Structures are given as structure tokens and as C-alpha cells.
């Protein structure tokens, strides 16, 4: 492993991976390849911009010619694919980009990777491919049963990755991370949206009764899990990376309000997300057997995350303009109005 292509490396988790890997492995060359959608942000890569082992190329994983050029030019031997459309609510509004990137893009990346004879290919996937898990914990052999356009398109991508292992014996690995949070997360997901809105004392739109359950994983733990699987995982295998810290959404919201010293009166229950998955829960015993262990509890991660957003308004205030405001209106205006009636 020497020249690692990190696709989607300007997003939330990808950039955290790049910030860690450039430091931890100075002898690896880290090449970020990113389309720079609304979620791609060069500010996320500022801390590594001048590192000698860091390069950036703009491009789409679904563009064959562009992928082929970068694989050849940098003599890529390893691909870690973070590139995705990642927000469930946006996938419910319009799934085109989700199919393009999360399914077709993964296929193109695999296919060009095979033609260029690359070594390891790690596909970053999600616990959402198991669908809603009413009781118990998903293990890697549990059926994939995605229930929304985002997770269905992600399942398509990882199934193709598996097909490339079975058919061409390509050295493919899959990680399935749980709900990830931490600094530099785009303020459309629950935690960064609600932290930044609460700072401005705006209403926090909780879907339905807020009794849905998510398993929370701090971003640094997600990154260390991917690093572990990349170096020690067995070819063709999938590995769950779970926080094993399950919370009801409403308790997450109460905890962040308490940390910020803001009133619970900001909570506004709004009409539920369509097809809302009630519960995600996985076991990560298999990754633990590779030596991975999460270090941050939800409470410790939340304290750090709230501190970071409070201290880094420069990062998120400029995002909350333009396209972001249009999306916010489309997603929330009618919901908030319905709730107030
Ligand atoms: P993100 O939305 O913050 O970042 C996605 C990045 O991919 C952006 O930089 C974007 O510009 C880039 N991108 C999008 N389409 C592209 C394309 N066609 N070609 C090249 N680049 C493209 O997402 P994230 O939260 O950092 O998630 C990263 C990965 O981890 C995704 O694959 C996601 O499915 C997975 N994941 C996320 C979570 C979570 O809670 N955020 C949990 C488990 C798994
Ligand atoms: P989200 O961060 O979108 O992640 P995911 O849907 O991938 O789990 O949402 C986390 C949970 O929070 C999910 O159950 C939906 C809920 N949620 C709200 O109640 N209100 C919101 O405005 C958002 C964005 C999410």
C-alpha cells in the first residue's frame, strides 16, 4: 500500500480519514478525488493542504475517463470509497444523484480499478443497508433490507463490490458504519443541524414522536475502524463498525440542548419522515476481533462536537446560505407550518 485514492475525501468522514492518515502514515501518498457537490468542502482539508503526502483532484467517481486518468497518473494501488450522496431526506425528495453516485459510481470505480490492477478496494457502507431492526443486533450475515432510496442505492453499491470479489477475485472489503457525528459534519444531519440551530435559538424539527433509535459513532472511531479493516480485514468480507451506544432521538436532542444551555422549548415535533426506519443496531464483534475498539462514548463525543460547532462558526455560517437555505425550506417549511397549526 503506497498510493491511496480517497474518493469523497472532501466530505465529513472522508476528510477526517484524510486528516488522520496523512499524519499516521507519512510514507503513504493520499490522493483525494472528489466531485465537490454541496457536501464537498475544501475547508475540511485545510489542516492537510500543505502536507507533502496530500494531493487533491476534482472529479466524479461515475466518470470513467476521469477515474482512469487519476488511477494511472498516481499509480493508485488502494481505493477507499467514501464518495456518496449521504442524506436520507434529500433522497426522499429526489433520488437521481443517489443512484448515480451510490450505485453506478461505485460500479465504475470498481471496474476501472480492476482494469488498472489495483490492490485493495474498501467500500464505505452503512448500517442502513440492514433496514430497520426492531429488536436485536445485525451481524454481517444478516439480510440486507434497505427501506429508503439512500440506503437502497448504497446496498446496490456494496453488492456490486461483493460481485467484483466473487467474480474477479478483486481484493474488496466493506465497512458498515453506524450514525456518525463529530466536527465538520454538514449541518443537514440531526446533530450538526440541531446544534447550529439551537445556537441561534431556532426551532428544532423532531420527526414524529422522536422515539426512533440510532446507534451513535464518533467520527474518529469510525476512521480508526476503517483504518483497521483496511490493514487487517480479510478480502471479500464486510465489517460492522458500531458505536454500540443506542439512543432515542429525543434523548439526543435533550442532551445537546443541555450541553448548550438552551431551553427544551426549542423542540418542535413535526410530521414524520416518510418510511422512517425506527431502529438501527449492529454488533461489531467481527471488527473487534481485528483489534478495533471504539474510544469515545456518545457523551464524550457530544461534548467535543458541541464545543467544536460553538468555536467554529466561521465553518458553518457560510454553508447556511444559498442552496442550503433552499433545501431547508423545501424540507422543513411545510412541516414546521403544519406543526404550528
Ligand atoms: P458527506 O455527504 O459529508 O460527503 C460525501 C462526499 O462525497 C462529498 O465530499 C461529496 O462532494 C463527495 N461526492 C458525492 N458524489 C460524488 C461523486 N459522484 N464523485 C466524487 N465525489 C462525490 O458524507 P459522509 O457523511 O462523510 O459519508 C461518507 C461515506 O460514509 C458515505 O459513503 C456514507 O454513505 C457513509 N456513511 C456515513 C455515515 C454518516 O452517519 N454520516 C454513516 C455510515 C456510513
Ligand atoms: P439523520 O442525521 O438524517 O441520519 P439517518 O437518517 O441517516 O439516521 O437523522 C438521524 C435521526 O434523526 C433520524 O431518525 C431522523 C431524525 N431527524 C429528525 O428528527 N429531524 C431532523 O431534522 C433530522 C435531519 C433528522
227 to 169, 241, 262, 294: CA distances (angstroms): 22, 11, 37, 13
CB of 42 shorter than 6 A to ligand 1:
no
**Nearest residue to 219 (alpha-carbon basis) of 315, 304, 123:** 304
With cell 475547508, the residue in question is: 43
The active-site residue, picked from 34, 112, 127, 215, is 127
- Span from the CA of 185 to the centroid of ligand 2 (angstroms): 13
Catalytic residue among 77, 128, 171, 245: 128
Residue 244's pLDDT is what? 94
Whether 135 maps to a domain, the answer reads yes
Helix (H, G, I), strand (E, B) or coil at 27: coil
In a domain, 28, yes or no: yes
CA 301 to centroid of chain Cα atoms: 16
End-to-end CA distance of the chain: 59
Q: Is residue 224 domain-resident?
A: yes
Among the bound ligands, the one closest to the CA of 280: 2
Rounded to the nearest angstrom, the distance between the alpha carbon of 215 and the centre of ligand 1 is 18
Q: Let me know: does 147 contact 96? Beta carbons within 8 Å.
A: no
**In angstroms, what is the span from residue 65 Cα to ligand 2's centroid?**
36
Q: How far apart, in whole angstroms, are the C-alpha atoms of residue 253 and residue 119?
A: 43
Q: How close is the Cα of 250 to the center of ligand 1, in Å?
A: 25
State yes or no: is 96 an active-site residue: no
Is 28 buried (19+), middle (13-18) or exposed (0-12) by CB count in 10 A? middle
Whole-model pTM over 0.75: yes
Q: In the structure grid, which three cell numbers stand for residue 298, read together?
A: 456518545
Q: Could you tell me if residue 111 is inside a domain?
A: yes
The CATH code of the domain that includes 156 is: 3.40.50.720
**Using a 6 Å cutoff on CB, does residue 176 contact ligand 1?**
no
Q: Identify the residue whose C-alpha is closest to ligand 2 atom 12.
A: 190
**Ligand 2: which atom is nearest the Cα of residue 193?**
24
Give 29's contacts (C-beta < 8 A, 6+ positions apart): 2, 3, 4, 53, 55, 74
Among the listed residues 150, 239, 280, 309, the single catalytic one is 150
| C-alpha dihedral sign at 333, 89, 206, 185 | negative
Tell me whether residue 11 is in a domain: yes
Question: Quick check: 247 and 183 in contact, CB under 8 A?
Answer: no
CA-nearest residue for atom 36, ligand 1, is 126
Q: Is residue 260 part of a domain?
A: no
Q: What range defines the domain where residue 229 resides?
A: 3-181+215-241
pLDDT at 1: 79
Q: Which residue has the cell 450538526?
A: 192
Per the structure, the count of domains in the chain is: 1
Q: Which residue pairs, CB below 8 angstroms and at least 24 apart, start in 234-238?
A: 234/173, 235/165, 235/171, 235/172, 235/173, 236/162, 236/165, 236/166, 236/172, 236/173, 237/140, 237/173, 237/174, 237/286, 238/125, 238/140, 238/158, 238/162, 238/173, 238/174, 238/175, 238/176
Q: What is the pLDDT of residue 340?
A: 82
**The pLDDT of residue 341:** 78
Pairing outcome for strands 213-218 and 246-248: antiparallel
Q: Is 221 a catalytic residue?
A: no
Residues in contact with ligand 2 by the CB-under-6-Å rule are: 88, 179, 189-190, 193, 205-207, 212, 214, 249, 273
65 domain residue, yes or no: yes
Contacts of 33 (CB under 8 A, 6+ apart): 5, 6, 7, 9, 57, 58, 59, 61, 67, 70, 83
Is 150 annotated in the active site?
Answer: yes
Q: Does residue 320 lie within any of the structural domains?
A: no
Q: Decide if 137 contacts 119 (C-beta within 8 A).
A: no
- Cα gap 130→138, rounded to integer Å: 7
pLDDT along the chain (341 residues), means of 10: 96 98 97 98 98 98 98 98 98 98 98 98 98 98 98 98 98 98 98 98 98 98 98 98 97 98 98 98 98 97 98 98 97 94 78
CA 7 – ligand 1 centroid, Å:
9
Q: Which residues contact 185 (CB under 8 A, 6 or more apart)?
A: 12, 191, 192, 219
Amino acid at each position: 500500500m503506497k498510493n491511496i485514492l480517497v474518493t469523497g475525501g472532501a466530505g465529513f468522514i472522508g476528510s477526517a480519514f484524510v486528516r488522520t492518515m496523512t499524519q499516521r502514515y507519512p510514507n503513504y501518498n493520499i490522493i483525494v478525488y472528489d466531485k465537490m457537490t454541496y457536501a464537498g468542502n475544501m475547508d475540511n482539508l485545510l489542516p492537510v493542504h500543505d502536507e507533502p503526502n496530500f494531493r487533491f483532484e476534482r472529479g466524479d467517481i461515475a466518470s470513467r475517463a476521469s477515474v482512469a486518468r487519476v488511477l494511472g497518473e498516481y499509480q493508485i494501488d488502494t481505493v477507499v470509497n467514501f464518495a456518496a450522496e449521504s442524506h436520507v431526506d434529500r433522497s426522499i425528495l429526489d433520488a437521481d444523484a443517489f443512484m448515480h453516485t451510490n450505485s453506478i459510481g461505485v460500479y465504475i470505480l470498481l471496474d476501472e480499478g480492476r482494469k488498472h490492477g489495483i490492490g485493495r478496494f474498501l467500500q464505505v457502507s452503512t448500517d442502513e443497508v440492514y433496514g430497520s431492526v426492531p429488536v436485536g443486533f445485525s451481524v454481517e450475515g444478516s439480510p440486507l433490507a434497505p427501506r429508503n432510496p439512500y440506503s437502497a442505492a448504497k446496498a446496490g453499491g456494496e453488492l456490486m463490490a461483493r460481485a467484483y470479489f466473487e467474480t474477479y477475485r478483486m481484493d474488496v472489503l466493506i465497512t458498515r458504519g453506524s450514525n456518525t457525528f463529530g466536527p465538520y459534519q454538514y449541518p443537514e444531519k440531526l446533530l450538526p443541524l440541531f446544534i447550529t440551530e439551537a445556537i441561534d435559538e431556532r426551532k428544532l424539527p423532531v420527526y414524529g414522536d422522536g422515539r426512533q433509535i440510532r446507534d451513535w459513532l464518533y467520527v474518529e472511531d469510525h476512521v480508526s475502524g476503517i483504518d483497521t479493516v483496511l490493514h487487517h480485514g480479510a478480502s471479500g468480507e464486510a465489517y460492522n463498525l458500531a458505536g454500540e451506544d443506542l439512543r432515542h432521538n429525543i434523548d439526543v436532542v435533550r442532551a445537546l440542548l443541555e450541553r448548550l444551555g438552551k431551553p427544551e422549548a426549542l423542540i418542535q415535533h413535526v410530521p414524520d419522515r416518510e418510511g422512517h426506519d425506527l431502529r438501527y443496531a449492529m454488533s461489531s464483534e467481527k471488527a473487534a476481533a481485528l483489534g478495533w475498539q471504539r474510544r469515545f462514548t456518545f457523551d464524550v463525543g457530544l461534548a467535543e462536537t458541541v464545543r467544536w460547532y460553538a468555536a467554529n462558526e466561521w465553518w458553518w455560517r457560510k454553508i447556511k446560505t444559498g442552496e442550503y437555505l433552499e433545501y431547508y425550506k423545501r424540507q422543513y417549511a411545510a412541516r414546521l407550518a403544519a406543526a404550528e397549526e
